Amino acid sequence: MQRLMRDSSKTEAERPVQLEFRKSWLLPGAILALSVLLFRDELRRLPNRVEIGERTVQLQFEPVELASGSVGPFRIVGAWRLLAEDSRFGGISALAVNGDEFIAISDSAVVARFPKPGKKDPRITLRELPGGPGRPGFKVNRDSEALLADPNGRGWWVAFENRDELWLYDRRLSRALKRFKLDASELGRNRGVEGMVADGEQLLLFPERGGRALHLDPAATLPINGISGWLSDAVRLPNGRILVVNRRPTPIGLSNSLVLLERDGGGYRARRHWRIPVGRLDNVEALAAEPLAGGGTRLWMMTDNNLQQRRPTLLLALEFRPRPARQPS
């Protein structure tokens, strides 16, 4: 056995060779890694957004079935997959009801106007927002995430993430009227404002990191207790309460919920959570509300398909109607 063990010393000559072999790959490996990083950085410098202008195309509403018939006090009254022959349709990040039509914006600053379900021969009109922060050829500059009718009736406010700016456009969204730079120290990279509601004549902003809301005038940070994950939109109901869409990552996708906020001292508290019965890969990004006759409320929600045509863009309709008052006997 000892003689056999002595033979094992012959491998000692191989160890310097192995070390030299490893060292010989260190420099090429480092060069390759650096090249990949430089290539990725160079890609970020290349334009990745093209403005096409206004175009009107056919719109399809394909009914879909959801897993549940209600979301808390809200009854699901309809769900559709929306299809349009324009590659810009998708990536929906905000929604508003404007009379008999919707106004939706994508996260690349495309405005979509389309009717509510039920109209014969529905069509959708798409065009880019007129102006915005940074150079228009880069999507990161035009990452529009929130939409709100101006409380003073001047038009529409749009919040741009990454550049952390608010822009006011006229009522037709055809001309920019005002520009406001937010304090980025209150936000984070790719975690900017996702929702806005009116607070009197002022704006109340909801950043994606859902632990606080921002008041602009006077400037104030309002904590939101009892919530975790991310916020993707917010709406003020006709009764004055605030609903937000809360997204939480799970091992198998996203969990989307509606959360009711109530005032709590100098901030807000999440009082109720209701899960939205969409798929684990569906990302609810847009929320709007409209009053109904008799004191009811209709909620409209849309999903962001990340501009991937194989993933659906969904429109959901939920309705709350108060119970009729009991007649005295």
pLDDT at res. 58: 98
Better-scored residue on pLDDT, 71 or 48: 71
3-state DSSP assignment of residue 86: coil
Quick: pLDDT tens for 202-218.
999 999 987 899 998 88
Range 242-252 average pLDDT = 93
pLDDT at res. 22: 54
- Encoding tokens for residue 127? 């065009």
Q: What is the percentage of the chain residues whose pLDDT exceeds 70?
A: 82
> CB under 8 Å to 7, separation ≥6 — which residues?
none
Contact 112, 97 (CB under 8 A): no
pLDDT at res. 127: 97
Q: pLDDT confidence of 108, banded at 50, 70, 90?
A: very high
pLDDT over threshold 90, residue 169: yes
pLDDT over threshold 70, residue 24: no
Q: pLDDT confidence of 294, banded at 50, 70, 90?
A: confident
pLDDT over threshold 70, residue 111: yes
CA–CA separation, 164 vs 193, rounded Å? 7
pLDDT at res. 23: 54
Range 90-98 average pLDDT = 97
pLDDT over threshold 50, residue 186: yes
CA–CA separation, 95 vs 198, rounded Å? 15
Q: Checking phi first, is residue 268 left (phi over 0); if not, alpha (psi -120 to 50) or beta?
A: beta
Q: pLDDT confidence of 328, banded at 50, 70, 90?
A: low
Q: Token match 């006759």: residue?
A: 293
Q: pLDDT confidence of 21, banded at 50, 70, 90?
A: very low
Q: pLDDT confidence of 188, banded at 50, 70, 90?
A: low
Quick: pLDDT tens for 46-65.
677 889 999 999 999 999 99
pLDDT over threshold 60, residue 15: no
Range 76-90 average pLDDT = 96
CA–CA separation, 216 vs 171, rounded Å? 22
Phi and psi (nearest 5°) for 252? -120, 15
pLDDT at res. 4: 40
Taking Cα atoms as reference points, which of 217, 155, 150 lies closest to residue 183? 217
pLDDT at res. 3: 43
pLDDT over threshold 90, residue 185: no
pLDDT at res. 30: 64
pLDDT at res. 218: 85
pLDDT over threshold 80, residue 17: no
Which amino acid is present at 296?
G
pLDDT at res. 1: 40
pLDDT over threshold 50, residue 226: yes
- Residue 57 pairs in a beta bridge with 124
